[in-house]
Every structure is written in C-alpha cells, then in structure tokens.
Structure 1
Amino acid sequence: MTDKIVVFKDKQIRRILHNNEWWFSVTDIVEVLTDSSDSRQYIKKMRQRDPELNANWGTICTPLQLVAADGKKRKINCANTEGIFRIIQSIPSPKAEPFKRWLAKVGYERVQEIEDPELATARTRELYKAKGYSDAWIEKRMRGIAVRAELTEEWKSRDVGESPEYAILTAQISKAAFGMTPSEYKQYKGLDWENLRDHMTDLELIFSMLGEAATTEIARKADAQGFTENRTAARRGGRIAGDARKKLEQQTRAKVSTPENYLDEPEAIKKLKGKS
C-alpha cells in the first residue's frame, strides 16, 4: 500500500493505494464538499438521513491507515471511487459535480498507469522533481523502486505471504545491510510516517538496492520456497550489502548511514542533494 495526498481546489484529500486502486478518506471528501467544521457529525446525520447508505456503510467503507492530523498513522474510513460516488449522492452540494469530474480523472489516470507503467514512472519523476530532488538522486530512487518491485514479485512467486511477511524479510535485509531495521533507521533519521527511502542519500539508496538485488538473485539460484527459505536468502543478500558497506567505510573513514534527511533545514538538504 502506498499513501499520498492529493489536492482539490486547495483542499488536501488523503488517499491510499489498496488492492491496486485509489481509496480516499471519507472525512476529507465530506469536508471538501460541505465545508463542515465537524465532518464526523455530518457523516452521522447523513447516514441517518439515508437508511440505504447506512445499511451498506460497512461494505462501502474500509478502515485503512492514513496519516492523521497529529502526524501519526491511524485507521481512517476510506472508500474507492465507486463508494465515494455513492456517498456524494447523499450530499446536497453545488461542489459535487466538479468534484465528480475530478474524481473520475484521478481514477482514469490510475487505469492509464496500470495499462502503461511508464506513465506512473514519469509522474513519480515529476513529483520528486517538484519537491527539489536532484536528477542524480531521482535516477537512483527510480532504479531502487524497480529493484524493490522485482524482489516483491519474486517473493510472490515463491509462496511468501504479503504483509507482514514482506515487512519481516525487508527488515532482515536492512538489518544485515545497515545494522538497523527500517523502523530503527527511521528513528535514527528522526522520521515518523515518512517514506524512509525518500530520505536516504545516494549511497544509502545504492546499498539498499544491492541488498535487495542480491536477495532476489540468491532466492532464484537457491530456488527458495516459502517464508523460511526466503528469510535465509534475505539475510544472505543483506550481508552482501553490509560487507560492501563496511569495506567502503574502512576506505573512506566515513559512515554510509547518516541521520540527515530531507526534513532538515537547508544545509542538510543541500548535502543530500549534492551537485546534479
């Protein structure tokens, strides 16, 4: 699952990629269409006014983890495009029609990305560029995304359950490569809900890629099947990256892992970006 924030007429709407389609925060949608100061109360009254909507609420809405106002990830009621259209039917608002067109456009773009993954790649590049990342960093980040996707596809074909087994295997690779699990690494960088790899330096990205690419190759050569055998492959792949990292650190007398991140002001950011 991947979470993002999109904007409709200067209003932020949280969304998350779930089962290969976008799901949107219901409370954010209600706030956009009603300007309500208490969206939860509005939703409660809306459900009372519409018994059919209320009866199917559990089917229309699914609690998914999104970033809350306090910066923590919490389970928040979300609905896909079809579900949001049904909710909109119960909201008498002149804002509904342009919002419907916007929502349809967002859904159509996702369909385009599924049919042509290069579009998704291009849009991701544009997003990183707009955030101020250097071209050199973006190239490494995009390559890292491709390496990660190849690894997860390999796990899927080798009878590894998705969540939480992917997370456990990823932690094994990271621990062997950097001496830290992803959650420990985020604490080290002072991150909370942010994507760890979006805050890695060039070298950190390179060694992440090496660990995952090595794991993929080891799993193939060993024909690892199931979670236990792939956990062994993950440890071995991570150690390859970890050994290479240690050799570089010996030669340069500098640590690869750094607490710097793109949240820092502005000197640390300049160091991370480097000269493109």
Structure 2
Amino acid sequence: MSEKRDNTIVLFNQSRIRRHWDDEQEKWYFSVVDVVGVLADSTNPQAYWRKLKQRLKDEGNETVTNCHALKMPAKDGKMRLTDVADTEQLLRLIQSVPSPKAEPFKLWLAKVGYQRIEETEDPEISFDRAMQTYLKKGYSKEWINQRLKSIEVRKELTDEWDERGVKEGLEYAILTDEITKAWADKSVKDYKRFKGLKKQNLRDNMTTLELVLNMLAEASTTEISKKQKPDTFDKNVNVARKGGRVAGTARKQIESQTGENIVSPKNAEDLMLSHHKRPEIETGD
C-alpha cells in the first residue's frame, strides 16, 4: 500500500472520521474506530472495536482479516497505527454493528443489490438509469450517447478477455493500462493526474473525441483478439498494445490536421460548464 496519501477528516453527523487517500490503490481508507464509535455511540470506541473485531475473527469474517493498519493523527496529535477499511469493507462491517444509524446503509445495499438483479434480467434498465444519472449531472445528450456506446464496447472487450482466460481485477487493469498507454501515450494513473482526478472514473471525464478514440482502441483490441486468440496473458498484453496503437495512429493523424492535442486536461466539471454556457443574444440598436 502506497504511503503517499492525503490526510483528510470528514464529518458524519457532526462526528469526525479520519480517512486517507491511497494514490496507488486509488481508494479512500477510513478509520474503523471512528466509524464504529459513531454508529455504536460508544464512550470507548477502541474497546468496542476490539471486542467486535475478535468476535468477527472467531466467526471467520474475511473482511476483518483483510483490514489494514495505517498511521493516522490521534487525539494527542501523534501519528498512531489504527485499523482502516476501504468503502466496500466498511459497508460490510457496518452491518455487524447493531445500530439504528446503520439502517440507511443497509437499505442502500439492499437497493443496489435489487438493481443489479433487475439489470441482469433486462440490460436496458442499466442504460436507462445511466442516461438519467448523466443527465442529472449535467452532461450533454451528445456526450451521453458516446459514453453509453463506450460501455457497450467495453463489455464486448471484457467478454472477449473472459473467453481468453483473463482474470477480472488486476489483469483487467494491466491490459486497460496497456491499451491506454498505446493510444494516449499516458498510463491510466498519469491520465487521471493530468485531468486532476483521484477516485473519479476516467471515462466520465473524457471529451467526446477522447471517448471515441478510447472506444476505437478497445474495439480494435477485441477484434484482434478474436482473430489471434491469445492463449497466455503475455499474448493478451501484446494484443492490447496492438489495439491501442490503432487508435494512437488515428489520434496523431487528427492532431496533425487540427494542430491541437486530443488528450485534454478537461474533466467533467469543464465539460458540463461548457455544455451549460449559452451564446449571448445580440439585440439591435
């Protein structure tokens, strides 16, 4: 786990909760003691967490086993080790705390689970939800259409990776990084830094042309993979680079004609600001 983190304290019902951003993992890690203290209304949250942690360990709870310890500022101002959990781990732990304050989280989890079941039975539901979500956020319909197409293209690519035995998670991330470097000349991490992003989704912060080239890179990778049928991870990496280079060549040709860089520092905030700008109406004298 990277030690380069932003130290931040956030408020939950007026209670302070410590959190750290891990640049390498691209995740927020929250102090478990702080969260448990809020939910349990305990005067000694450290003792409460010790007992809960031991009980969950005895039950074979993997979430507790996977919790990390990080140095965070204590009440005395010194940096001391404390257990932390990422968002997913935290939501699981919250369910183990008998507290009325945990109910909103449990309801949210149930709702998300139900939505996933609905979307599995009818994929159009997920697209409708995505369309409404992006519209509410302020994206233009033109951008949204490209973004939804990019989701389809991505799904076709991951289906092909599954067919080739590529494992979801780290291997997906490595291949995605290779595709991105091949067409954009930036790793995913560098691309996000360039746009001033942390946890945000990179594609949600691409311009329309960036989305189109990213789709071309992923679609090319899918087609090359179908033809070459790579049977090892190294061969899949090679195919990912080839697919990315197709879009990289297109990017350079467009840039040579326009004189402008396609890989842009613009992010979602800039895109929505541009969308909501309206030309001034000229009036006669």
TM-score (norm 2): 0.69
Residues 177-224 of structure 1 show CA distances to partners (whole Å, capped at 9, x for unaligned) of 111111111121122222111110000000000000001001111122
Partner of 2:202: 196
> Structure 1 pair 195/151, CA: closer, same or farther in 2 (3 Å)?
same
Given the alignment of the two structures, is residue 157 of structure 1 paired with residue 163 of structure 2, yes or no? yes
One of 104, 109, 120 as aligned partner of 1:114:
120
> Structure 1 pair 246/98, CA: closer, same or farther in 2 (3 Å)?
closer
What is the correspondence of 1:11-160 to structure 2 with a 5 Å cutoff? 27=32, 30=36, 33-34=39-40, 42=45, 44-45=47-48, 48=51, 52-53=55-56, 55-56=58-59, 58-59=61-62, 61=64, 63=66, 75-76=85-86, 78-79=88-89, 85=95, 87-88=96-97, 91=98, 93-95=99-101, 100-160=106-166
- Asked whether the equivalents of residues 183 and 246 of structure 2 are also in contact (C-alpha less than 8 Å), the reply is yes
Distance 1:115 1:64 in 2: 34
> Structure 1 pair 97/272, CA: closer, same or farther in 2 (3 Å)?
closer
Distance 1:49 1:220 in 2: 50
Distance 1:106 1:263 in 2: 26
Stretch moving more, 104-113 or 49-58: 49-58
Amino acid in structure 2 at the alignment position of 1:156 = D
Partner of 2:227: 221
Q: CA RMSD in A?
A: 3.9
Distance 2:264 2:115 in 1: 37
Distance 1:57 1:78 in 2: 18
Partner of 2:262: 256
Given the alignment of the two structures, is residue 235 of structure 1 paired with residue 274 of structure 2, yes or no? no
> Structure 1 pair 179/33, CA: closer, same or farther in 2 (3 Å)?
same
Amino acid in structure 2 at the alignment position of 1:213 = A
Q: Secondary structure at the match of 2:224?
A: helix
> Structure 1 pair 32/156, CA: closer, same or farther in 2 (3 Å)?
farther
Deviation at 1:269, TM superposition (A): 3.9
Deviation at 1:35, TM superposition (A): 6.3
Distance 1:202 1:142 in 2: 12
> Structure 1 pair 59/147, CA: closer, same or farther in 2 (3 Å)?
same
Q: Secondary structure at the match of 2:86?
A: strand
Runs (5+) with no aligned partner, structure 1: 1-8, 10-24, 66-73
Deviation at 1:169, TM superposition (A): 1.6
- Asked whether the equivalents of residues 61 and 77 of structure 1 are also in contact (C-alpha less than 8 Å), the reply is no
Q: Secondary structure at the match of 1:254?
A: coil
- Asked whether the equivalents of residues 172 and 238 of structure 1 are also in contact (C-alpha less than 8 Å), the reply is yes
Stretch moving more, 133-142 or 46-55: 46-55
Deviation at 1:117, TM superposition (A): 2.4
Partner of 1:15: none
Partner of 2:178: 172
Distance 1:249 1:159 in 2: 36
Distance 2:125 2:46 in 1: 36
> Structure 1 pair 54/182, CA: closer, same or farther in 2 (3 Å)?
closer
Deviation at 1:60, TM superposition (A): 5.1
> Structure 1 pair 119/269, CA: closer, same or farther in 2 (3 Å)?
closer
- Asked whether the equivalents of residues 154 and 216 of structure 1 are also in contact (C-alpha less than 8 Å), the reply is yes
Distance 2:118 2:31 in 1: 24
- Asked whether the equivalents of residues 217 and 246 of structure 2 are also in contact (C-alpha less than 8 Å), the reply is yes
**How much identity, in percent, do the aligned residues show?**
43
Stretch moving more, 107-116 or 199-208: 107-116
Partner of 2:273: 270
Amino acid in structure 1 at the alignment position of 2:266 = E
> Structure 1 pair 259/49, CA: closer, same or farther in 2 (3 Å)?
closer
How many residues are paired up? 241
TM-score (norm 1): 0.71
